[in-house]
Structure 1
Amino acid sequence: MFALPPLLPSTRAPVRSLARSLACVALIATGALVALATWYPGHCQVLLLLLPAVWSRARGRASAVAIWIGYYLAGARDIPLVCMRFFSGYGDLTRPEALMLGVSFWIAQACVLATPWAVLKPESDASATRHALCAAVATVLVTVPPLGIIGWLSPAYVASTLFPGWKAPGLVLGITAIACAASVSRGRFARQVATVLVILSLLARGVASAPVVPSRWTALDTRLGRFDQSSYASLYARTQQVQTSAQRAFSEGATVVVLPEEIVGLWRPAMGYWWRNDIQAFAAARRTLIVGMDLTASRTPLRYTDSAVVVGADHGRLDSRQPVPAALWRPSAAVSAIRGSLSQPYVTVAGKSVAFSICYEDLLWWPHWRILQQSPDVLVSLSNSWFDADLPLAHIQRQGVAAIARLSGVPLLRAVNR
């Protein structure tokens, strides 16, 4: 029998290159599948542990980062379409221009968020401790600013599934679980820690209970679409629609009503006049309205806060700690939202302490640091989703804020405009 001749050196390199390319494609596909199974249409956040596990076994930085590229591209797949709708809807860009900008954002965010995983990838023969430490550090880097400003889809969300109600310790244990996933196949100690984490997770899930929203608190979902603020006629029409919705909810027995983010747009003197009688009536009847609006901070350049404002029987305000980058938060532009302080305290409404999550904050961990340390009575989320209500992003956003509420052990009340 004739033996096949060995591959010539000139043919081995292309074969190895092809094999590496196919491996990267497979890893990108794996990351994408994890994103789909974890987030919408899937809802299994424990699968996030697969990412560091596969990452730690990959050979070379290119292979290691591929799984994260696939994960972030699939999880944030709506960015191009959202940009097209948002920027063309306000006339900032044409639809093709906005779509191309969105594609650029989509690719850039995946590369940026995958970078820590590439830089921190240990050598294949590195110790289990080094793999665990690098995975934990990378998780923190993509969860807190500056990278955390776009820190959606953080693997830290696994903490809410594993340790519901355990607040900051639960988040720390969740990051520890990520570290274990990256090192469990490399050392006995990591397997022992993983066993302890499984026991603690079963305990946490066993004793967890579903928090209950305070009685007679109501969040109103509206279908008013994009707000045209170009004329007083459109301003007044929207005001009447919002007032009618609030009055109807109060007439049905609610004592606290929550309306969506920016539902009344930029607060102007005319708005104060149109709302004056209603606010006085709410106060007299011991009723409270929580409404999303923009409040002017300076005229030139125009700076405003994206805020949740409490009126009626109670008074208070919380400004968004992170308005949507590029869409609302544009520090160098002539018009931009500004960020509220991270030290803003809870607002008291009807004797209850209230934490807020305003739109984009639903996707982030770091604006909610206080809720992981001190338990409020309720988490109120306000969102304006006229540009993405029919897209997976809207479901992913709801999953994100629900995970924050679940880890903190507080009830969630959410108002969305579509």
Structure 2
Amino acid sequence: MPVRWKSPLLILASIVCGWIGWSGEVLLLPLAMFFPLLWSKAPSRSIASLVAAGYFLAASRGLPRGVANFYSADLWPGLMLWVIASASFVIVHAVFWTKPRCGNTPGKEGTDAARGLRYLAVMMLMALPPFGITGWAHPLTAAGVLFPGWRWWGVGATAILLVVMTGRRWQIAVAVLGALYVWSATNWTPPKLTPGWISVDLKHGAELGRDGSLQYHRDLIATVRGTIAERPVALVVVLPESALGFWTPTVARLWQQGLRGSEVTVIAGAAVVDARGYDNGMVTISADRSNILYRERMPVPGSMWQPWLQWTGQSGGARVDFFGNPVVEVAGVRIAPMICYEQLIVWPVLQSMLHAPQVIVAVGNGWWTENTSIVAIQKASVFAWARLFGLPVVMAFNT
């Protein structure tokens, strides 16, 4: 292959990896694991940056359209945010890149060990705050497809494969990846369901949670009671993010009254507001009690989490607690809660797994993702992590 074609082909291949690997189909996630190979083969730091940018921008291609939908604006604000969001990913990969060694020629080029350690550092930085705040499309997510049920051993094995991809023996990693993929795809089964746990998807669009009327809540209660009537074994019913809008004592009492005569517990998304801002979270409601169950660890940066407000002494925006409440308990079951944006990044789910949950509960409000693959990518990520740790999963989305 002519040398002049190497750089364009590496960039093109990285775009293909990001586009197809993060298309929303869980079994295609392992394609993202070729990205470290392409990054390590870049002949210069500038090309390595373009390879990283191509992968990330392709993987997150739904962001411009999603932002335009959310703000009812044209594509330009979304395109700007798209590029800004890629900055941390590109910068980290550019800083830790080292020139590939050519044969046995000594020089300043990085050895396999040095390059592997550098990529290991990249993986960790893009999985944890602050860089991990925009650490979407992390190749480590593919662990659930390649090593279902391996739990932390699967995380480690995938990390080793990714590191080997950056060295001279990358062919071994590719061969192992191919064999594992064929085996996994042949034997793939979706995550288990939890007996008695039911999810209710809604199609309320942008109106979900914005209508605080009593009639809205009565209609939603009727939907829940209809679900219970159809599934008399129901113990817990899960509603999407923001389903209840603002959480108030009035809303709590209305729902408790609506659930009288049943033994079902409802988990629903709601916003808990005070003078300083709000928490995006989940609440639990039954006929005899209600309480705030979970406060989102990582709200969506920009649209929800606005740290500059606090820096300038203003109030407003969603609060963030990077490592708070990783596991909560409902009906005697320990759950790993994941709200919307947390399903796209790495550390919330891995932190929750450290606390041995029994089920993953993932909710989202994806009305703004129309004509994009964002919700499908969220679901694929959750399925992959659930399969990796052998856990049942319950998901509820509004579209």
- Name the TM-score, length of structure 2 as normaliser: 0.86
Q: Which moved more, 1:256-265 or 1:236-245?
A: 236-245
Aligned with 1:289 (options 254, 262, 266): 266
Aligned with 1:306 (options 280, 284, 289): 280
**Residue 346 (structure 1) aligned with residue 323 (structure 2):** no
Displacement after TM superposition at 1:360 (Å): 0.7
Tell me if structure 2 keeps the 8 A contact 1:167–1:373.
no
2: CA distance, partners of 1:23 / 1:199: 27
Tell me if structure 2 keeps the 8 A contact 1:165–1:204.
no
Displacement after TM superposition at 1:239 (Å): 1.4
Pairing 1:332-371 to 2, within 5 Å after superposition:
332-333=308-309, 334-340=315-321, 342-344=323-325, 346-371=327-352
3-state SS of paired residue (1:165) = coil
2: CA distance, partners of 1:26 / 1:51: 13
Q: Which moved more, 1:34-43 or 1:79-88?
A: 34-43
Q: Which has the higher contact order (CA 8 A, sep 6+)?
A: 2
- Corresponding residue number in structure 1 for 2:30: 46
3-state SS of paired residue (2:54) = helix
3-state SS of paired residue (1:290) = strand
Pairing 1:248-397 to 2, within 5 Å after superposition:
248-252=226-230, 253=232, 254-279=234-259, 281=260, 284-296=261-273, 298-299=274-275, 301=276, 303-312=277-286, 317-333=293-309, 334-340=315-321, 342-344=323-325, 346-397=327-378
2: CA distance, partners of 1:390 / 1:216: 33
Q: Deviations over 1:319-357 (max 9, x none)?
A: 110011111111233421112462415333233221111
Displacement after TM superposition at 1:129 (Å): 0.9
Q: Deviations over 1:70-122 (max 9, x none)?
A: 1111111111111111123xxxxxx13xx322111111222321221111111
2: CA distance, partners of 1:391 / 1:67: 23
Tell me if structure 1 keeps the 8 A contact 2:40–2:48.
yes
- Corresponding residue number in structure 2 for 1:122: 98
Aligned with 2:76 (options 80, 100, 115): 100
1: CA distance, partners of 2:50 / 2:147: 29
**Residue 163 (structure 1) aligned with residue 147 (structure 2):** yes
User: Compared with structure 1, are the counterparts of its residues 28 and 341 closer, same or farther at alpha carbon in structure 2 (3 Å cutoff)?
Assistant: closer
User: Compared with structure 1, are the counterparts of its residues 44 and 116 closer, same or farther at alpha carbon in structure 2 (3 Å cutoff)?
Assistant: same
Tell me if structure 2 keeps the 8 A contact 1:305–1:338.
yes
- Corresponding residue number in structure 2 for 1:173: 157
User: Compared with structure 1, are the counterparts of its residues 27 and 385 closer, same or farther at alpha carbon in structure 2 (3 Å cutoff)?
Assistant: same
Q: Which moved more, 1:133-142 or 1:167-176?
A: 167-176
User: Compared with structure 1, are the counterparts of its residues 67 and 231 closer, same or farther at alpha carbon in structure 2 (3 Å cutoff)?
Assistant: closer
Unaligned residue ranges in structure 2 (runs of 5+): 102-109, 310-314
Unaligned residue ranges in structure 1 (runs of 5+): 1-15, 89-94
- Corresponding residue number in structure 1 for 2:62: 78
User: Compared with structure 1, are the counterparts of its residues 212 and 135 closer, same or farther at alpha carbon in structure 2 (3 Å cutoff)?
Assistant: same
Aligned with 2:123 (options 127, 139, 155): 139
Displacement after TM superposition at 1:194 (Å): 8.3
User: Compared with structure 1, are the counterparts of its residues 306 and 277 closer, same or farther at alpha carbon in structure 2 (3 Å cutoff)?
Assistant: same
2: CA distance, partners of 1:304 / 1:203: 46
Tell me if structure 2 keeps the 8 A contact 1:24–1:66.
no
Displacement after TM superposition at 1:184 (Å): 4.1
Aligned CA RMSD, in angstroms, stands at 2.9
2: CA distance, partners of 1:276 / 1:409: 34
Larger Rg: 1
Q: Deviations over 1:279-326 (max 9, x none)?
A: 4x1xx5321111110012x21x4x111111111167650111001111
3-state SS of paired residue (2:281) = strand
User: Compared with structure 1, are the counterparts of its residues 211 and 75 closer, same or farther at alpha carbon in structure 2 (3 Å cutoff)?
Assistant: closer
3-state SS of paired residue (1:164) = coil
**Residue 65 (structure 1) aligned with residue 49 (structure 2):** yes
2: CA distance, partners of 1:257 / 1:180: 44
**Residue 34 (structure 1) aligned with residue 17 (structure 2):** yes
- Name the TM-score, length of structure 1 as normaliser: 0.82
1: CA distance, partners of 2:209 / 2:163: 49
Tell me if structure 1 keeps the 8 A contact 2:298–2:322.
no
2: CA distance, partners of 1:124 / 1:184: 9
